Chain A
């Protein structure tokens, strides 16, 4: 029966071609294994292009005092100590080498006077640490990895959506999906899979994320039996655009504040003085997001209900050179010249710190043969990610997951893996149901309703009552979404594609809701109005854990890995 399907066999299949996926694939190829890179969009369009401010690495090019230990402590403190300490350590130690490697592959970072890589200040980072190219660092990184990737013998499967992981017993044996162009199914027999699918932003109404960010990897991992940790930790970036409505949620880079931008309320007050007088605008993202939200709630919002972010006191040529994308973004979309007038900003859903539980060294999940790297993986950033730590995360753990998966694949005899064809048939039937159903829901309507629920009940501030209500609303929506109806053929049909994306989004939303209810404290980005303080004795020592138990979603906690004494000491030493 397998002959019925188009198949492509590889040692390792990487799902997602953003910074993490490309870095994984480059490494798998370098290790001598055959690799297939599968992505929902065209190559080079992944959400990594939207990363603006920079990549954090303790190169000490600008501030000589920087070192990996300080970067490690900043990352742990920023994450409110919920981070997997080993990931934070590896990240801080290896980020400089990964940046230099990127430069050897063609990345052109802005330079210091001495001809070295320029670094800028960012929230939560003790030193000037973010290597950057104006405010388009993500594009530079993605294009560099793309160039390296296409010359590395990687087979790229573009505009192909993976719908299911196929297992042989406990082990990964393959993946199946469809071509967006033709709607035909395709099977990828493989020894190992690396998830590099990014985040979940599209479950919220106001988000900086692109349409692709529908929680596919989290859902694939969950369905395959892997554990997800800390799913309640959703980062709301403090500064998204709010006006006009068409661009609501689009990111305004933290580099604006890194370059000296000031936040003010409608009374002209520099309100960060009240929330974090020491760090002001360069406080961590969780703090700044709550501050803006609170100012607006208390009636001191800007014209369109946000805060003013002002960089116009800086020399206009410097603003245009350091923040060219922001200059054009506001000019083109909002008719505002940021060198002369303030921007209006409000928090926007940006990133999920939680994700697939992985082993720090290898990216291995709890399912044999399944790996994860980048935003889809959990642990690295604890309960709040520092700006700039994502791009470095993609490179450090992309490489590590690539090595991990290639090594694992070497130990697996391809002949011993059997794909259960009845499973493919079942999946296929489920995927095609919206063409057969009559009188079902419009997937676009369901998506809008989901976004309304997530925005209303699972936002910046949370309470037990609202979370409970939200979870009930989600349950009702799941019933409604069980029968979807669409029009048209299988050829490039976004309505049909959305049906599968909704399945992922609904699972991820439930996971966020359940863990947000479970964690009865405030920590990092997870702010409970009914439990405003952090509870280090109890909740500070555990991850929340989600896994599939039959057809039920099981919610639990598990102890954080214990940090060794030599690293603990770094937090008490005065540097």
Chain B
């Protein structure tokens, strides 16, 4: 049977870590997560890996494989050059807990800061054509790969001033909801840090659900923010109206 060499980052918070080498048998259709679970069962029972559904639907098993961001349950071994070792690392943007597991709790703190959907009273009537575009955003599996790749968060560590692409599509979904009654543009322009995004589209490229984060969510939101806060004509009108 064919074999592959896997180099897995092993280490704990504040202690650093190093690559460890393992050899695993390769089966047809095998994914990187299969290799990691094989390592767990046969060589290193304490290898920390976060995973759940193993079907690319829960977004738990995000990692950096040969420097590329992806879900380990979706990344097929036969898509990688197996004559070289496969290198598996944890997401860089979030603090390390152990091995491939990082502390992503910051994301949940951001979620709390976004005002939820607020519908009007009575029966809700919506048409498919009005919700098609926001259903795209609802496909998000919260793998946080977009947060991980975003250079505002990854390179500049501005978690204090930018919510990140995941929460841009969350806000877009609510702002574009045909029945929602709350305005979140001020949040976007303020705490949300919309201005930090310079639309490099890295987030869109790594999304395992192929959500067009930049084109369909961030750019339209930027337009709304611009209309609201930076349109000179509207600014004069608002001044005249005393608002």
Contacts and interface: CB of A to CB of B under 8 A. Distances in A.
Interface of A: 41-47, 49-50, 100, 103-106, 108, 110-111, 114-116, 133-134, 136, 139-140, 143, 146-148, 150-151, 156, 158, 181, 210-212, 243-247, 250-251, 325, 328-329, 332-334, 442-445, 448, 486-489, 491-496, 498
B46 A42 contact: no
A555 B31 CA distance: 42
B131 A246 contact: no
B83 interface: no
A430 B169 CA distance: 46
Nearest to B180: A106
A495 B57 contact: no
A43 B108 contact: yes
B97 A181 contact: yes
Interface string B78-92: 000000000000000
Interface centre among A45, A158, A443, A445 (most CB of B within 10 A): A45
Given A139-B141, A332-B56, A151 B124 contact: no
A345 to B, nearest CB: 15
Contacts of B22: none
Contact of A247 (B12, B50, B55, B139): B55
Interface of B: 12, 27-31, 34, 40-42, 44-60, 74, 76, 97-99, 101, 103-105, 108, 111-112, 116-117, 119, 124-128, 131, 134-135, 138-142, 174, 177
Contacts of B117: 105-106, 147
A210 B29 contact: no
Closest A-B pairs by Cβ, 8 of them: A244-B29, A488-B46, A495-B45, A106-B117, A444-B41, A492-B48, A115-B125, A492-B98
A329 B56 contact: yes
A244 B27 contact: yes
Chain B, interface SS category: loop
A50 to B, nearest CB: 5
26 contacts: A44-B142, A45-B52, A47-B53, A49-B141, A50-B57, A108-B135, A108-B138, A139-B57, A139-B139, A140-B138, A143-B142, A148-B116, A151-B112, A181-B97, A210-B54, A244-B27, A244-B28, A245-B28, A247-B54, A329-B55, A332-B74, A333-B31, A443-B45, A489-B46, A491-B48, A494-B45
Contacts of B111: 146-147, 150
A444 B55 CA distance: 21
B91 to A, nearest CB: 13
A41 B105 CA distance: 12
B126 A106 contact: no
Nearest to A329: B55
A210 B135 contact: no
Contacts of B142: 44, 143
Nearest to B57: A49
A212 B52 contact: yes
Given A115-B125, A487-B46, A488-B46, A246 B31 contact: yes
B139 A116 contact: no
Given A104-B119, A246-B31, A329-B56, A150 B46 contact: no
Contacts of B28: 244-246
B138 A143 contact: yes
Given A487-B45, A496-B46, 5 more contacts: A42-B50, A103-B124, A181-B103, A332-B56, A487-B46
Contacts of B40: 444, 494-495
Nearest to B56: A332
A185 B126 CA distance: 48
A148 B114 CA distance: 11
Contact of A493 (B48, B56, B126, B131): B48
A47 B51 CA distance: 11
Indicate the member of B34, B103, B116 with the most A CB atoms within 10 Å: B116
B124 A45 contact: no
Nearest to A212: B52
Contacts of B135: 108, 133-134
